[in-house]
Amino acid sequence: MLNFLQRIRAHKIQELQTQMQRLPLAELRARLRDLPPSRDFVAALQRPGVALIAEVKAASPSAGVLRARLDPAAQARAYARGGAAALSVLTDQAFFHGALAHLTAARAATSLPVLRKDFILSAYQVYEARAAGADAVLLIVALLEPPLLRDLMALAEALGLAALVEVHTPAEAEQALAAGARLIGVNNRNLHTLQVDLGTAEALLPQLPPTVCKVAESGIATPADVQRMAAAGADAVLVGTALVRAADPTALARALVRAGQPHGQGVTP
């Protein structure tokens, strides 16, 4: 039986072939002409304490449908009011019920920089991200051979996009560093099994050099979780499911941001 990452890869390859026939690369690249400058994703995370990357997503393979009638713009505005430093938007349709249109809507609703969170295997998807308004792209080391990782990082930089390079193991962290990554996310979720363990970030974040901007991803739901990631050395946390499910996402975002500040212990939503 294929594990989750293998299923994703197989589906994305088919999806890409269909999309590239629908919109050829030359036409896609033409859409990038005269776009306004991207927003500085990395600079947004370089603030005192632990910055919050708040995620917009309708569903996930592990949790199912999170919000049946997701309004990406309203969700983004709620996060901005709560003090989020940046947004992450799921654009995968098959597994997360996302769309590039969700990213475009969320970005238009606030002044925050936006990450395209998807399973990127091709330069085509990086061009897609820029055309849709993304300011950063997620590059998952477990999906990419080292030469392709370096090529996609270089393309992202050329297009004015930050590359959040995601790792889950020490070996993947070494690959990210060898490729020159300066923005690294440690995913607490094993993408092969979908199991979550905050100890993953606690083990890997201290091993990353101080020149790297460090992001803890997945399984973070409470102020106490943010404090754990802060203690491990995170510069930012990426939070999705808890915020999308929250009755008051602004209040939860505010509590998570406060928990990441120095002396923020004991903050509750």
Q: Which residues are catalytic?
A: 55, 57, 117, 166, 187, 217-218
| Intra-chain end-to-end CA distance of the chain, in Å | 41
Which residue matches tokens 């055309």? 131
Q: In angstroms, rounded to a whole number, what is the distance separating the alpha carbons of residues 218 and 197?
A: 9
Q: In angstroms, rounded to a whole number, what is the distance separating the alpha carbons of residues 248 and 261?
A: 21
- Burial tier of 258 (Cβ tally within 10 Å: 0-12, 13-18, 19+): buried
Tokens describing residue 149: 């990782």
157-161, long-range: CB within 8 Å, 24+ apart, which pairs?
159/32, 159/38, 159/126, 159/127, 159/130, 160/37, 160/38, 160/130, 160/135, 161/38, 161/41, 161/126, 161/129, 161/130, 161/134, 161/135, 161/136, 161/137
Element (H, E) at 238: strand 236-239
Contacts of 149 (CB under 8 A, 6+ apart): 139, 141, 165, 175, 176, 179
Element (H, E) at 252: helix 249-259
